Structure 1
Amino acid sequence: MDLSAIGNYLQSLSLPAFRQRQIVKNYFSGHYSNFSQMTDLPLALRTDLDSKYSLFSVKEENILTSTDSQKALLTLGDGQKIESVLMNYHDWLTVCVSTQVGCPLKCKFCATGKMGFKRNLTSEEIVDQILYWKNALSPLSRGDAPKGQRGLRVVFMGMGEPFLNWNNLLSALNIIHSKDGLNLGARKISISTAGIIPRINNFADLNTEINLAISLHSAVQSTRESLMPIAKKFPLPKLLTSLHYYTQKTRRQVFLEYAPIADINDTQKEIDALIKLLQSDKLFFLNLIPLNPVKNGLIPSAKLSLIEKQLTAAGVNYSLRHSLGQSINSACGQLATSS
């Protein structure tokens, strides 16, 4: 919702300031899909606002559901489309947010890059993905979730590179974290980047408790370049310098994401390099992620157990992540407006 435009309109009607506060509170509650449902507003005002404004900047076009996740194809005001995902874990719900229509980075293991890049999302379009799930689908809004399952987390791991949409990302984060917005704790928010070094440094300077994840996928420069072309512009040595700056500045962990791919980044040379990188900073934490199926010719590694044994023996911090939503192409790297 364009809060500024609606605020200006209400002022033009000479309405008291508390009316705008009512609308803002209702909007962020996630319990309303249009103004007509806001019965604490006068009927004439509700009707007027519905005729002039949409409550959300995203509109559901299609929804796919699996046992552990839901994926929505959302249409934006200009007709562009994005995908957003709701993942149902044991004790919480996680909204996977997109920040761009498509992506310019063309990572080999990611379907989004095949779309090309259309445009950045506005902060409103980013926030409205979360409100869409709260309002339309989530047990958070229906009130029928089992006890302990209503906690909400947000991950910026959908379509696009968040740090290439920096200003709108910061604006959205402010709204998501603000007590006057979604009031979500910083530690419940995670941002994943392919390694945009200037913005990692900027993010470190913010000294926020929002989690930072790096799409690593190889600790060997030539391999990483072959998988992620952006690595040519931001090579590993400079990336590591930036990450060390981040850990020293914030004293917070950096989560390094690694999807083992058969005969590419699962060789002994690759794993040795990975372990050496992880041992370079005690605040590096590895998220080992099984490669999700995408039509790209890449084959998931059959060496996960062996890799785990070597990581354990080396004493590095890691976890094996379990992907949700593969059956509906909503897992990491599978989003491509194909619903």
Structure 2
Amino acid sequence: MKELSVKEKMIFGNLKDDSVKALLSLNDNLKIESVLMVYRDWITACVSVMVGCPLGCKFCATGKMGFQRNLSSKEIVDQIAFWNNYLQPMKKRVSRLVFMGMGEPFLNWNETQKAIAEISIPGKFNISYQQMTVSTVGIIPEMYKFADLKSKINLAISLHSPFQEKREQIIPIAKKYPLTELMRFCGHYVKLNNRKIFFEYALIDKFNDTFEDIFAIKKLFGSSLFHLNVIVLNPTGGKYKGSGMGRRETFVRALEKYKIPFTIRRSLGKEINAACGQLVTQTAQPSRPEEQNLN
């Protein structure tokens, strides 16, 4: 078996609980985290592209680590190989892939693109472009390059507020790449590719969960190919808190009323700090797949 560039330090959680997180050591002893999410019909790997992240989004634990370095394409690919080795005792494998772990893919696009090319080699991992999703906060110059590829890879954009001023408060890079330019790109992308764009929207209590936000989203969404992925903000120890059940239900009913295309996303891995925005290197008690049961 080929030696991997990522090595297990700790495993968090159990497959029977729908998610597992791995603390992985690199050859220079830096650490990253990678997550496995188990659904009824498939298994998704959430991979990292950086050690830490330079963007400092206010609701994301990874940003608090700061940025140490980009991952190589091999270190990205080897996260999938690691998870397939982990799943092998149960005769399971990774079947979908999201670039939503540590780091911003479009700030390490050369290595991420190399990794995607290797992952998609027929017969290697059996993960097609359509089964991959690249997530970004909106690094617009690289996004135009991505659009020009006319790839079948899914694109997800961290929106989190339909207002420029509020978006700047939680996503500092939005000052450099404003919402007007981001939405101009989105119009270009759907015209060029005729593919859906997924907008990630973490509900933050009394910050982005009001009727005013609904009306602004409705105005922003100028294409039937724009789709909102709604999830309640996961706890990260910062000042922002997730919306309560009542506010969430009111928000969802308003989305339905105003016919805004949306999906309510399940939040897997909160208990092991493996959910969206929670990845930050730490330690936990090990748990091996031989002790677990997917049924």
Q: Among residues 159, 162, 167, which one is paired with 1:224 in the alignment? A: 167
Please tell me whether the aligned partners of residues 290 and 322 of structure 1 are also in contact (alpha carbons under 8 angstroms): no
Corresponding residue number in structure 2 for 1:264: 207
Corresponding residue number in structure 2 for 1:85: 35
* Residues matched between the structures, number: 279
Corresponding residue number in structure 2 for 1:332: 276
Please tell me whether the aligned partners of residues 80 and 94 of structure 2 are also in contact (alpha carbons under 8 angstroms): no
Q: Which runs of 5+ in 1 are unaligned?
A: 1-31, 35-54
Q: C-alpha separation between the residues in 2 aligned to 1:264 and 1:175? A: 41
Asked whether 1:283 is paired with 2:230, we answer no
Q: C-alpha separation between the residues in 1 aligned to 2:98 and 2:89? A: 22
One-letter amino acid matched to 2:37: M
Q: Among residues 142, 155, 160, which one is paired with 2:89 in the alignment? A: 142
What's the offset of the Cα at 1:260?
Answer: 1.1
What's the offset of the Cα at 1:275?
Answer: 2.0
Please tell me whether the aligned partners of residues 43 and 94 of structure 2 are also in contact (alpha carbons under 8 angstroms): yes
Corresponding residue number in structure 1 for 2:242: 300
Corresponding residue number in structure 2 for 1:39: none
Correspondence list, 1:47-62, <5 A: 55-62=3-10
Q: C-alpha separation between the residues in 1 aligned to 2:94 and 2:61? A: 29
What's the offset of the Cα at 1:144?
Answer: 4.3
Correspondence list, 1:26-65, <5 A: 32=1, 34=2, 55-65=3-13
Q: C-alpha separation between the residues in 2 aligned to 1:326 and 1:311? A: 25
Q: C-alpha separation between the residues in 1 aligned to 2:30 and 2:174? A: 28
Deviations 1:58-95 (Å, cap 9, x if unpaired)? 01011111411110000001111000001111111000
Please tell me whether the aligned partners of residues 105 and 228 of structure 1 are also in contact (alpha carbons under 8 angstroms): yes
What's the offset of the Cα at 1:143?
Answer: 4.2
Query: What is the percent sequence identity of the aligned residues?
Result: 50
TM-score (norm. length: structure 1): 0.80
Corresponding residue number in structure 2 for 1:50: none
Please tell me whether the aligned partners of residues 153 and 188 of structure 1 are also in contact (alpha carbons under 8 angstroms): yes
TM-score (norm. length: structure 2): 0.92
Q: Among residues 152, 158, 161, which one is paired with 1:215 in the alignment? A: 158
What's the offset of the Cα at 1:182?
Answer: 2.5
What RMSD in Å do the two structures reach over aligned CA positions? 1.2
Moved more, 178-187 or 78-87: 178-187
Deviations 1:269-311 (Å, cap 9, x if unpaired)? 2221112212x11110000011111100211112111111111
Q: C-alpha separation between the residues in 2 aligned to 1:304 and 1:263? A: 11
Q: 1:144 to 1:131 in 2, by over 3 A?
A: closer
Deviations 1:238-276 (Å, cap 9, x if unpaired)? 000011111111100000000111121112222211122
Asked whether 1:123 is paired with 2:73, we answer yes
Deviations 1:154-178 (Å, cap 9, x if unpaired)? 0000000000001001100000111
Q: 1:168 to 1:144 in 2, by over 3 A?
A: closer
Deviations 1:94-140 (Å, cap 9, x if unpaired)? 000000000011011100000000000000000000000001x22xx
Q: C-alpha separation between the residues in 1 aligned to 2:213 and 2:102? A: 27
Q: Among residues 296, 301, 310, which one is paired with 2:254 in the alignment? A: 310
Corresponding residue number in structure 1 for 2:263: 319
Asked whether 1:242 is paired with 2:190, we answer no
Q: C-alpha separation between the residues in 1 aligned to 2:212 and 2:189? A: 27
Q: C-alpha separation between the residues in 2 aligned to 1:316 and 1:325? A: 27
One-letter amino acid matched to 1:226: Q
Secondary structure at the counterpart of residue 289 of structure 1: strand
Please tell me whether the aligned partners of residues 59 and 74 of structure 1 are also in contact (alpha carbons under 8 angstroms): yes
Q: C-alpha separation between the residues in 1 aligned to 2:175 and 2:214? A: 21
Secondary structure at the counterpart of residue 43 of structure 2: strand
Higher radius of gyration, 1 or 2 = 1
User: Between Structure 1 and Structure 2, which shows a larger proportion of helix residues?
Assistant: 1
Corresponding residue number in structure 2 for 1:164: 107
Q: C-alpha separation between the residues in 1 aligned to 2:81 and 2:198? A: 27
Corresponding residue number in structure 1 for 2:64: 114
Secondary structure at the counterpart of residue 237 of structure 1: helix
